[in-house]
C-alpha cells in the first residue's frame, strides 16, 4: 500500500442511534478507525454489532449523528444531501445480493456505475465497461442479463459496476453470502485485485472466515465497538503501479 | 469531452415486463379512445346542427328570435323579409320553410317503419342551396308532392335509391300525404332527423298543413356584389329595429350563434365532456397502478442506484420517461381505433364526424398529461427509496 498517502477513511468518536425517545437504541459507541489508501480491511462480528451501520455511514447512505467521518478528506458530519451524494459517487458499492438491474445487460449494469457520476457518459463509456468486464472475466457475457448469469458471475458484474468509475473507496457488504466456498473466495480475490490495480481502498463487512486470507487487516466488532484488530491470515502481495494481474477461476 | 446518451432505463424497464407494458398501453389507448369518441360525438352534434346552415346560399339570414336549432327554427312574419329586401345593399331575399315530419320509410325489408325527416320548402326557381346538384334538380319540384330525397338519409333506403336510379319515382307517405321522390340530393342526417327532403314551398304547405306562407322559418338574403354582409346585416337590423320577433345576422354569425345555443342549452355537451373526463380518470387509474407496481418492483434497484450516487431527480426522470413512452404508445393505437370508429359512424349514421388536427393535438396533450400526472403520483415512492435499505 502507498505509505506516504493520507488516510482514506478517518473515523473519530463515531456514535449512532436508531429510533427516538423510548425506542432509541444506540448501535455505535465512540468508534475510532483509520484506513490507509489501498488497504483491504474486513469488518467482522456478530449480527447486530453495527458493522453495516458503519458501512452505511462511511458510504454517506446515512447522516452522521455524532463524531467525525472523513472520507478522502471530505467531512460527512453535517454534510447536506449534495455532500452525501458526492461521497457516494466517490465510493463503489458491492452488496450482499448483487442488486443488478434485471432489465439491463451486464454491460448496461456496469455503465450505470458511470452514469451515477452525474456528469454524462463519456464517449468511451462502453469501451471502459467492456475493459472492466474483461478484467473480471466476463467479456463474453456483456450482453447477458442477470437471469442468464450464475451467482458468481452476477457478483463479478457487481464488482465491475462498483469499480468502473475508479472510486477511492470500495464498500462491500457480505458479497460472498450467497456464493459457494470457491466462488466466494474467487470473487473477493478478484475484488481485492481489481481494487488494488485501480488504487482503491476496500472496506468489507463479512462473516466469511474462508476469505480472511485476503485481508490486510481484520477488525472485530461487538456491541457497537471495535474490540479487536489483527492482520489478515495470509496477505497477498500488493500489485505495483501499472501491474495487471491475470484473473483465473 | 463527447457525451454518450444515457441508458434509456425507463424504456428498458417497460419492455422487460411485456405483459405490464401491454396492459398499460391498452389502458392509455382505452382512455384515448374514450376521449376521442366523446369529443367526436360532441363535435358531431355541433357540426350536424349547422350542417344545413353551411349549405344555404345566403349571405345574411333572418330567423325568429326564439329559434332554437334548425329542426325547430320557429317562424317570423314574412313582412320582415320584405323589409329586409327593401334595405340598401340587399340583392334578393327569399323564404325557406322548415319543419320535421314523420314518413313511412318503406326500406328494403318493406316493413313500413316510420322515421323523422327534415322537410325543407323553397321556391323552385330560387337558388336556395350552394350545391349545384340541388339547383339543377329544383325544377323537378314544381310538381305538387314532388321531393328531392337525401341519399345520405340514415337507415336502409336501398329500395328507394335503387328505384330512383332506375328512373322510377317511388312514393311513400309523408305527414299523412303522398310524397313522390323524383330524384336524390346530398344533405346528411342530424341527431333529430334521419335525413332531409326538399320540396317546393307549395308542396310544403300540403305536407305541413298547420303552416302558412306568411310565417317562414328562415329568410335567405343575398347582398349585392362588393357589399359588406356585416354592414348590410346591421342596416337590416336597424330597419327591423322596432320588431324584436326577428334576428338578422350574417351566415357566419348564424352558424356561430347556433353552435353556442346548442352548447349552452343542450345537456349533451356536458354529458360528452363528462364522458371525456371519465375517460381521463380511467386512464389515470390504470397508468398510476401500472407505474406504481413497476416502481414497487424496482424499489431495490432504485435504492441501489441512489446508493451508487444517482440523485432523486435522475431517478424521477426514469419514471417520467416511462410516462411519456406510455402516453405515446397508448395514443397511437387509441388514435387508430378512433379513426376506424369515426369511419364506421360516418358510414352507418351518415353524420359529420371527422378527426381534426386540433382534437388530435388536444387528446395527445391530454394523454401526455394523464401519464405525467400518473408518473408524478408514482414518483413519490421513488423519492422515498432509502439507499441504506440495500444493506
The pLDDT, as a whole number, for residue A240 is 33
Mean model confidence pLDDT for chain B: 87
The pLDDT, as a whole number, for residue A249 is 30
Count of residues in chain A? 249
Other CB atoms closer than 10 Å to residue B360's CB: what's the count?
15
Residue B21, C-alpha cell as written in the block: 407494458
Chain B interface, best mutation among A71, A103, A148, by max B CB count within 10 A: A103
Other CB atoms closer than 10 Å to residue A120's CB: what's the count?
15
A96/B6 touch (CB, cutoff 8 Å), yes or no: no
| Residue B387, H or E segment | none
Q: Which residues of A fall within a CB distance of 8 Å from B16?
A: 102-103
Which of A99, A121, A161 has the CB atom closest to B3's CB atom?
Answer: A121
Distance CA A245, CA A248 (A): 9
B309/A120 touch (CB, cutoff 8 Å), yes or no: no
Which of A62, A95, A112 has the CB atom closest to B7's CB atom?
Answer: A112
Q: Does B383 touch chain A (CB under 8 A)?
A: no
Distance CA A64, CA A83 (A): 12
Which of A52, A95, A102 has the CB atom closest to B16's CB atom?
Answer: A102
Same domain, B174 and B227: yes
Q: Does A27 touch chain B (CB under 8 A)?
A: no
Q: Does B390 touch chain A (CB under 8 A)?
A: yes
Q: Does A115 touch chain B (CB under 8 A)?
A: yes
Q: Does B304 touch chain A (CB under 8 A)?
A: yes
Q: Does a structural domain hold residue B53?
A: no
A61/B307 touch (CB, cutoff 8 Å), yes or no: yes
pLDDT tens digits, B216-249 = 999 999 999 989 999 999 999 999 887 889 999 9
How far is the CA of B360 from the CAs of B152, B259, B326, B346, in angstroms? Answer: 27, 21, 17, 18
- Domain count of chain A? 1
Q: Does a structural domain hold residue B339?
A: yes
- Name every residue whose Cβ is closer than 8 Å to that of residue B353 and which is 6 or more positions away in sequence: B40, B41, B43, B44, B47, B342, B345, B346
Which of B2, B6, B307 has the CB atom closest to A88's CB atom?
Answer: B307
The pLDDT, as a whole number, for residue B123 is 95
- Domain count of chain B? 2
| Per-residue pLDDT at B69 exceeds 50 | yes
B308/A116 touch (CB, cutoff 8 Å), yes or no: yes
Secondary structure (3-state) at B230: helix
Q: Does a structural domain hold residue B257?
A: no
| Per-residue pLDDT at B390 exceeds 80 | no
Same domain, B233 and B84: yes
pLDDT tens digits, B158-210 = 888 888 989 899 998 998 899 999 999 998 767 777 889 999 999 999 999 88
**Domain boundaries, position B168:** 66-244
| Per-residue pLDDT at B317 exceeds 70 | yes
Q: Which of A233-242, B27-36, B310-319, B349-358 has the lowest mean pLDDT?
A: A233-242
pLDDT band for position B66 (50/70/90)? Answer: confident
Distance CA B286, CA A170 (A): 42
Q: Does a structural domain hold residue A18?
A: no
Q: Does B1 touch chain A (CB under 8 A)?
A: yes
| Per-residue pLDDT at B2 exceeds 50 | no
Same domain, B78 and B26: no
Same domain, B219 and B334: no
Same domain, B84 and B204: yes
Q: Does a structural domain hold residue B4?
A: no
Number of A to B CB contacts under 8 A, please give it. Answer: 86
| Per-residue pLDDT at B45 exceeds 50 | yes
A123/B3 touch (CB, cutoff 8 Å), yes or no: yes
Same domain, B188 and B124: yes
Q: Does B64 touch chain A (CB under 8 A)?
A: no
| Per-residue pLDDT at B3 exceeds 70 | no
Q: Does a structural domain hold residue B252?
A: no
The pLDDT, as a whole number, for residue A233 is 60
B391/A61 touch (CB, cutoff 8 Å), yes or no: yes
Q: Please give the average per-residue pLDDT across B111-117, as a whole number.
A: 79
**Domain boundaries, position A134:** 38-56+88-231
The pLDDT, as a whole number, for residue A5 is 66
Which of A96, A102, A113 has the CB atom closest to B308's CB atom?
Answer: A113
Q: Does a structural domain hold residue B61?
A: no
What's A206's domain CATH number?
3.40.50.300
Q: Please give the average per-residue pLDDT across B27-33, as a whole number.
A: 89
Q: Does B8 touch chain A (CB under 8 A)?
A: no
Q: Which of A45-59, B136-150, B310-324 has the lowest mean pLDDT?
A: B310-324
B2/A123 touch (CB, cutoff 8 Å), yes or no: yes
Q: Does A65 touch chain B (CB under 8 A)?
A: no
Same domain, B381 and B297: yes
| Per-residue pLDDT at B378 exceeds 90 | no
Residue of B nearest to A173 (CA): B391
Helix/strand number for chain B, H first, E second: 12, 10
The pLDDT, as a whole number, for residue A246 is 34
Q: Does a structural domain hold residue B220?
A: yes
Which of B310, B314, B388 has the CB atom closest to A56's CB atom?
Answer: B388
φ, ψ of residue A150 to 5 degrees: the values are -80, 170
Q: Does B314 touch chain A (CB under 8 A)?
A: yes
pLDDT in tens, chain A (249 residues): 444 468 999 999 999 999 888 889 999 999 999 999 989 999 999 988 999 999 999 999 999 999 999 999 899 999 999 999 999 999 998 887 778 998 999 999 999 999 998 877 888 889 999 988 988 888 899 999 989 999 889 988 998 898 888 888 999 998 887 777 887 888 888 888 878 887 889 999 988 888 888 899 999 999 999 999 888 764 444 333 333 333 333
Q: Which residues of A fall within a CB distance of 8 Å from B5?
A: 121
Q: Does B309 touch chain A (CB under 8 A)?
A: yes
| Per-residue pLDDT at B145 exceeds 90 | yes
Same domain, B30 and B146: no
Q: Which residues of A fall within a CB distance of 8 Å from B304?
A: 93, 95, 99, 101
A115/B310 touch (CB, cutoff 8 Å), yes or no: yes
Higher-pLDDT residue of A84 and B156 is A84
- Return the residue matching grid coordinates 376521449: B35
Q: Does a structural domain hold residue A77?
A: no
Q: Does a structural domain hold residue B254?
A: no
Distance CA A34, CA A212 (A): 19
The pLDDT, as a whole number, for residue B109 is 54
Q: Does B388 touch chain A (CB under 8 A)?
A: yes
B301/A111 touch (CB, cutoff 8 Å), yes or no: no
Q: Which residues of B fall within a CB distance of 8 Å from A113?
A: 308
Q: Nearest CA to A167 among A199, A134, A132?
A: A199
Q: Which of A43-47, B148-152, B347-351 has the lowest mean pLDDT?
A: B347-351
B9/A104 touch (CB, cutoff 8 Å), yes or no: yes
Same domain, B77 and B42: no
- Return the residue matching grid coordinates 350545391: B131
Q: Does a structural domain hold residue A93?
A: yes
| Per-residue pLDDT at B386 exceeds 90 | no
Chain A interface, best mutation among B301, B309, B318, by max A CB count within 10 A: B309
Q: Does a structural domain hold residue A171?
A: yes
Residue of B nearest to A172 (CA): B391
Same domain, B196 and B331: no
Q: Does B305 touch chain A (CB under 8 A)?
A: yes
The last residue of one of the domains, among B199, B228, B244, is: B244
Q: Does a structural domain hold residue A123?
A: yes
Residue B182, C-alpha cell as written in the block: 323524383
B391/A62 touch (CB, cutoff 8 Å), yes or no: no
The pLDDT, as a whole number, for residue A234 is 45
Distance from CA of A172 to the nearest CA of B (A): 10
Q: Which residues of A fall within a CB distance of 8 Å from B314?
A: 118
Q: Does a structural domain hold residue A126?
A: yes
Cβ pair A1, A32 in contact under 8 A: no
Cβ pair B278, B37 in contact under 8 A: no
The last residue of one of the domains, among B200, B228, B244, is: B244
The pLDDT, as a whole number, for residue A209 is 83
Same domain, B174 and B299: no
| Residue A32, H or E segment | strand A25-35
pLDDT tens digits, B248-295 = 999 999 988 888 887 777 787 788 888 888 888 888 888 888 888 888
Count of residues in chain B? 391
Predicted ipTM > 0.90: no
Amino acid at each position: 500500500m502507498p505509505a506516504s498517502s493520507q488516510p482514506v477513511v478517518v473515523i473519530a468518536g463515531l456514535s449512532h442511534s436508531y429510533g427516538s425517545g423510548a425506542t432509541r437504541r444506540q448501535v455505535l459507541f465512540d468508534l475510532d478507525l483509520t484506513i490507509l489508501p489501498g488497504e483491504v480491511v474486513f469488518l467482522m462480528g456478530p449480527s447486530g454489532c453495527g458493522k453495516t451501520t458503519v458501512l452505511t455511514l462511511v458510504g454517506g447512505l446515512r447522516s452522521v449523528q455524532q463524531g467525525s467521518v472523513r472520507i478522502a478528506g471530505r467531512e460527512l458530519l453535517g454534510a447536506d444531501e449534495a455532500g452525501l451524494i458526492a461521497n457516494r459517487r466517490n465510493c463503489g458499492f458491492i452488496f450482499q445480493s448483487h442488486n443488478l438491474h434485471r432489465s439491463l445487460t451486464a454491460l448496461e449494469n456496469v455503465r450505470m456505475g458511470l452514469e451515477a457520476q452525474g456528469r454524462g457518459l463519456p464517449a468511451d463509456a462502453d469501451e471502459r465497461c467492456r475493459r472492466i468486464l474483461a478484467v473480471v472475466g466476463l467479456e463474453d457475457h456483456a450482453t447477458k442479463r442477470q437471469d442468464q448469469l450464475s451467482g458468481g458471475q452476477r457478483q463479478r458484474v457487481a464488482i465491475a459496476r462498483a469499480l468502473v468509475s475508479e472510486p477511492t473507496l470500495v464498500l462491500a457488504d457480505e458479497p460472498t453470502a450467497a456464493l459457494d466456498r470457491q466462488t466466494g473466495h474467487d470473487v473477493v480475490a478478484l475484488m481485492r485485485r481489481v481494487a488494488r490495480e485501480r488504487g482503491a481502498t476496500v472496506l468489507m463487512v463479512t462473516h466469511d472466515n474462508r476469505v480472511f486470507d485476503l485481508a490486510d487487516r481484520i477488525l472485530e466488532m461487538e456491541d457497537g465497538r471495535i474490540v479487536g484488530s489483527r492482520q489478515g491470515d495470509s496477505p497477498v502481495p500488493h500489485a505495483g503501479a501499472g501491474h495487471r494481474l491475470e484473473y483465473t477461476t | 469531452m463527447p457525451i454518450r446518451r444515457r441508458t434509456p432505463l425507463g424504456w428498458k424497464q417497460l419492455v422487460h415486463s411485456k405483459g405490464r407494458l401491454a396492459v398499460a398501453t391498452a389502458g392509455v389507448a382505452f382512455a384515448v379512445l374514450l376521449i376521442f369518441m366523446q369529443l367526436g360525438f360532441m363535435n358531431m352534434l355541433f357540426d350536424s346542427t349547422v350542417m344545413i346552415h353551411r349549405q344555404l346560399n345566403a349571405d345574411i339570414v333572418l330567423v325568429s328570435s326564439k329559434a332554437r336549432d334548425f329542426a325547430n327554427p320557429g317562424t317570423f312574419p314574412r313582412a320582415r323579409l320584405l323589409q329586409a329586401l327593401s334595405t340598401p345593399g340587399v340583392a334578393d331575399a327569399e323564404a325557406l320553410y322548415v319543419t320535421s315530419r314523420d314518413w313511412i320509410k318503406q326500406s328494403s325489408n318493406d316493413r313500413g317503419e316510420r322515421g323523422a325527416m327534415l322537410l325543407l320548402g323553397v321556391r323552385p326557381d330560387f337558388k336556395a342551396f350552394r350545391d349545384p346538384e340541388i339547383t339543377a334538380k329544383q325544377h323537378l319540384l314544381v310538381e305538387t308532392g314532388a321531393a328531392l330525397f337525401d341519399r345520405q338519409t340514415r337507415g336502409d333506403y336501398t329500395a328507394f335509391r335503387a328505384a330512383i336510379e332506375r328512373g322510377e319515382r317511388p312514393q311513400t307517405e309523408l305527414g299523412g300525404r303522398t310524397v313522390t321522390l323524383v330524384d336524390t340530393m346530398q344533405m346528411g342526417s342530424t341527431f333529430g332527423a334521419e335525413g332531409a327532403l326538399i320540396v317546393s314551398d307549395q308542396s310544403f304547405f300540403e305536407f305541413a298543413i298547420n303552416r302558412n306562407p306568411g310565417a317562414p322559418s328562415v329568410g335567405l338574403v343575398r347582398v349585392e356584389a362588393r357589399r359588406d354582409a356585416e354592414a348590410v346585416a346591421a342596416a337590416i337590423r336597424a330597419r327591423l329595429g322596432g320588431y324584436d320577433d326577428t334576428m338578422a345576422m350574417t351566415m357566419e354569425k348564424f352558424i356561430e350563434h347556433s353552435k353556442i345555443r346548442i352548447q349552452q342549452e343542450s345537456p349533451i355537451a356536458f354529458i360528452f365532456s363528462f364522458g371525456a373526463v371519465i375517460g381521463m380518470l380511467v386512464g389515470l387509474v390504470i397508468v398510476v397502478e401500472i407505474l406504481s407496481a413497476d416502481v414497487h418492483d424496482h424499489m431495490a434497484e432504485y435504492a441501489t442506484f441512489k446508493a451508487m450516487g444517482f440523485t432523486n431527480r435522475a431517478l424521477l426522470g426514469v419514471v417520467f420517461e416511462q410516462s411519456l413512452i406510455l402516453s405515446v404508445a397508448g395514443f397511437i393505437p387509441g388514435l387508430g381505433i378512433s379513426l376506424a370508429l369515426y369511419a364506421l359512424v360516418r358510414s352507418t349514421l351518415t353524420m359529420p364526424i371527422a378527426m381534426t388536427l386540433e382534437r388530435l393535438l388536444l387528446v395527445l396533450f391530454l394523454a401526455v398529461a394523464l401519464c405525467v400526472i400518473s408518473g408524478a403520483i408514482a414518483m413519490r415512492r421513488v423519492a422515498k427509496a432509502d439507499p441504506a435499505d440495500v444493506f
